[in-house]
Structure 1
Amino acid sequence: MHWIKGRVTRQAHVDIPEGTVEEEFGRRGFFGRVSHLYRTHAPVGWTKLEGDLRPHAFQTLELPGLSGDWLEGRVAFLGNADVTLHLAKLHTPMPYFFRNADADEILFVHRGEGRIETDFGPMAYERGDYLVIPRGTTYRLAPSAETAMLVIESADEVEIPPRGVLGNHALFDTDVIEVPEPQPPEEEAGRTEWQVKVQRQGRISTITYPFHPLDTVGWKGDLAVWRLNVRDIRPVMSERYHLPPTAHVTFLMKSVVVCTFLPRGLETGDPGALRVPFFHNNIDFDEVIFYHAGDFFSRAGVGPGMVTFHPQGIHHGPQPGAVAASKTKERTDEEAVMIDSRRPLELTPAAQSISFPDYWKSWMAAK
């Protein structure tokens, strides 16, 4: 069934009726049933917002407790039963190895470079890398330059989404994915013990070995640690229609979606096409965006390392002036990681302590 009532446009996101703004009211994070509402006022034009529904913004690099230790110093800022988000800093190689028995991990390298040593072998890492680590993998990070990482812990398996009619080589060809090659571990004269710290049910156990735990000499199969850099992701674009965030999905879990926003051409093929994100209120998903680099032109006042958090049930979209400013832009210059969670996320005390108290006001007077 499909209904058309009142004053609308024939094509969503194009030729929005004069004097109105468009809101996308949709289910399943832009995958499901949808209606478009044409309002005379922006739904973010509030003057007061009370309660815990308000959106948040904060600088993750300023989270308290970022000590440089991989376990004690990676600080959680949002989470639920499906996913936990951390920011971690490392200055020196980890003195121990780590195995997460609770979750798959996606490590996004915000800055720095170095080496990750794993059960499957070692790999170099650099800025802009995604490192995907299956649950149960033993690994160690050895930075050669100060490293800051966004850590996404997923209770469900991390997978690559199907590309459908776009074909298997859309977004990125799987040939660009890198996996480790086994190498003999480096000799350490006089060392007789190696420790592996294992996380299970959120608690840490320590296993001590009289030999180096990463002693794999060969492996085969389709489950491994792998690396993907954002420069190898090729965004899907449309000159005449503003694509939803789901067009930029990089990783898919049962209840969590991870998207990568990258520099791309804007909708210059039709003067009536919307060039900024449409208003929406996250009916089924909480939305988190980690800003990595560039200029996120639909939102003022954000910079590298910052996070915005928009919970289900409250509108968001372009801030005042963003629509007018977009009329002269032909490309975006943004790099960001978006994490959408079906179940509501909770801010940790560490994140609450640095949340910008007036972020919710940044939409006021939007037209």
Structure 2
Amino acid sequence: MRKWIHIPHVEGLASRQAHADLPPGTVERELGKEGFFGPSTQMIHPRPPTDWTSWDGPLRPRAFDCTKLPPDGASPWQASELLHNAHCRMRFWTCVASMDHLVRNADGDELLFIHAGRAELYCDYGHLSIEAGDYVLLPRGTMWRLELAEPMQLLLIEATNGSYQLPDKGLVGEHAIFDAAMLDLPRIDEAFKAQSAVAGEWRVVIKRRNLLSVVTYPYNPLDALGWHGSLHPVRINVRDIRPLTSHRYHLPPSAHTTFVANRFVVCTFVPRPFETDPGAIKVPFFHNNDDYDEVIFYHSGDFFSRDGIHPGMVTLHPCGFTHGPHPKALGKMLVQPKLATDEYAVMIDARDALEVSDAAGTAEWAGYHQSWQAVASTA
């Protein structure tokens, strides 16, 4: 049994309530452990802690424009790799044609986030229609393929050698954020039966240790007659997520956790009311997330805390430096012109340092680290 060294203390000029009632003309910076779940301290500063004038070294914040990546073909194993570590692998897939083969990820559970497009997904368990805004969780070892209704863009988040689970919702109860009854499952319906009956040879391309093997069948192996059990794919759309809110206190990103895996979490930002308490800050607070690398994929809407960001972009804020709202957002720290946010985004917080893949580097916004000072070029 371990116990944090925990002696709450107020020193000098400070507010007693975190994220509210700051001394006039100041900003707040949070130093926290365990990705907002552990002990923290709120520092009060006279100026934004992102007012650096230069940056040298590999720790700089980075941004990548996935819309500049080329189409990847009709297989997720051709997707452009973005970021990875031993427990998580993120890829961006622009799929322009229906898959003529099946795939199976033997490295870990696969979470698909549909950024654009529509398709029919066929897997061991049956048939699902999928569209933009859907999360589709495919357990490790699931065989699947897509028949496109229109070209698709997907963020693929692999829980390498691990599994996805739902977060502990604690005091707010199991129905908060989304009721598990909102999760849709594949069905063995007429569409599934029809595709099973198509004669011919089928390949299954299996990924294990990031290497590919091919198994060929003289028939379609997606031919299950039925099943029962508690291991299966699930789907939920971001429009069905009901975020936790507080009108008097800006909640940290951990309040928006959607899935948890081994050494990383996936959170979802969806439209929510702004805080209405006059003293509460109404933008993300400056913070040192010194235990996690933070990644955000921007799906749609107006990303109120960021300048120069558009849908389809990814930002990486490695742990070890202070970050927070851009200058335009900071100017609205206490008064917002709108009643609510208008953004959908996927956040991945990784406990272990993420490596940037070569493909991501080809689509990098090199001036992103300068965007806290002025409007930088997005070339």
TM-score, scaled to structure 1: 0.96
Could you tell me which amino acid in structure 2 is paired with residue 324 of structure 1?
G
1:51-70 equivalent positions in 2, closer than 5 A: 51-64=57-70, 66-70=71-75
Alignment-derived partner of residue 233 in structure 2: 225
**CA apart distance, 1:10:** 1.5
1:152 aligned onto 2:157: yes
Distance 1:307 1:243, change over 3 A: same
Worse overlay, 118-127 or 347-356: 347-356
Q: 2:204 aligns with which of 196, 207, 224?
A: 196
SS of match in other structure, 1:236: coil
Contact 1:298–1:322 (Cα < 8 Å) also in 2? yes
TM-score, scaled to structure 2: 0.93
Alignment-derived partner of residue 337 in structure 1: 346
1:138 aligned onto 2:143: yes
Alignment-derived partner of residue 291 in structure 1: 298
Alignment-derived partner of residue 224 in structure 2: 216
Q: How many angstroms apart in 1 are the aligned matches of 2:371 and 2:170? A: 38
Q: How many angstroms apart in 2 are the aligned matches of 1:179 and 1:141? A: 16
**CA apart distance, 1:325:** 3.0
SS of match in other structure, 2:195: coil
Structure 1: any 5+ residue segments left out of the alignment? none
Contact 2:297–2:345 (Cα < 8 Å) also in 1? yes
Could you tell me which amino acid in structure 2 is paired with residue 168 of structure 1?
E
Cα deviation digits, residues 235-264 of structure 1 (max 9, x gap): 011000000000000000120110000000
Alignment-derived partner of residue 301 in structure 1: 308
Q: How many angstroms apart in 2 are the aligned matches of 1:330 and 1:22? A: 23
Contact 1:185–1:215 (Cα < 8 Å) also in 2? no
Contact 1:275–1:323 (Cα < 8 Å) also in 2? no
Alignment-derived partner of residue 176 in structure 1: 182
Q: 1:360 aligns with which of 346, 369, 375?
A: 369
1:18 aligned onto 2:27: no
Contact 2:283–2:332 (Cα < 8 Å) also in 1? no
Contact 1:53–1:311 (Cα < 8 Å) also in 2? yes
**CA apart distance, 1:333:** 0.4
SS of match in other structure, 1:198: strand
Could you tell me which amino acid in structure 2 is paired with residue 314 of structure 1?
F
Structure 2: any 5+ residue segments left out of the alignment? 1-6
1:67-82 equivalent positions in 2, closer than 5 A: 67-82=72-87
Q: How many angstroms apart in 2 are the aligned matches of 1:48 and 1:207? A: 53
SS of match in other structure, 2:78: coil
**CA apart distance, 1:282:** 1.7
Q: How many angstroms apart in 2 are the aligned matches of 1:132 and 1:185? A: 24
Q: 1:313 aligns with which of 320, 327, 339?
A: 320
Residue identity (%): 46
Q: How many angstroms apart in 1 are the aligned matches of 2:222 and 2:363? A: 39
Could you tell me which amino acid in structure 2 is paired with residue 211 of structure 1?
Y
Distance 1:45 1:184, change over 3 A: same
SS of match in other structure, 1:186: helix
Distance 1:265 1:352, change over 3 A: same
Q: How many angstroms apart in 1 are the aligned matches of 2:195 and 2:309? A: 42
Could you tell me which amino acid in structure 2 is paired with residue 57 of structure 1?
A
Q: How many angstroms apart in 2 are the aligned matches of 1:187 and 1:234? A: 37
Cα deviation digits, residues 78-118 of structure 1 (max 9, x gap): 11111111110112210100000001110000010011101
Cα deviation digits, residues 189-248 of structure 1 (max 9, x gap): 6x4311101011111100011121111111111110111011110001100000000000
**CA apart distance, 1:185:** 4.4
Alignment-derived partner of residue 110 in structure 1: 115
Q: How many correspondences in the alignment?
A: 363
Q: What is the root-mean-square deviation of aligned Cα atoms in Å?
A: 1.4
Distance 1:50 1:197, change over 3 A: same
Distance 1:325 1:122, change over 3 A: same
Q: How many angstroms apart in 2 are the aligned matches of 1:119 and 1:164? A: 34
Q: How many angstroms apart in 2 are the aligned matches of 1:235 and 1:188? A: 43
Contact 2:85–2:353 (Cα < 8 Å) also in 1? yes
SS of match in other structure, 2:249: coil
**CA apart distance, 1:278:** 0.3
Cα deviation digits, residues 41-66 of structure 1 (max 9, x gap): 211100010000001112112124x3
Could you tell me which amino acid in structure 2 is paired with residue 342 of structure 1?
R
Q: How many angstroms apart in 1 are the aligned matches of 2:93 and 2:366? A: 24
SS of match in other structure, 1:130: strand
Q: How many angstroms apart in 2 are the aligned matches of 1:321 and 1:109? A: 30
Q: How many angstroms apart in 1 are the aligned matches of 2:219 and 2:363? A: 43
Cα deviation digits, residues 135-160 of structure 1 (max 9, x gap): 01001111111110010011221011
